[in-house]
Amino acid sequence: MTTVYQQKGLNYFNLVAESLKTFLDTDARDGGYFDIPAESYNPLRKQYNPVQIAKTITAPTGTHSDFGFGIIDVDIYARGLNFIFGLAHPLRRIAIVSLYRLSGTKIRERIAKEVVHEMGHLLGLSHCRKSSCVMYFSNTLEDTDKKEKSICGTCRSRIEA
Catalytic residue list: 118
Kindly tell me the sign of the dihedral angle through the C-alpha atoms of 38, 42, 43, 47.
negative
Sheet holding 67-72, edge to edge: 28-34, 2-7, 67-72, 94-98, 86-89
List residues bridging with 28 in a β-sheet: 2
Q: What is the DSSP letter of 39?
A: G
Helices (H) and strands (E) in the chain, counts: 5, 7
- Degrees, nearest 5: CA angle 86-89-90: 125
Give the up-direction half-sphere exposure of residue 23: CA atoms within 13 A in the CB hemisphere. Answer: 27
Q: Where are the beta strands (DSSP E) in the chain?
A: 2-7, 28-34, 41-42, 47-48, 67-72, 86-89, 94-98
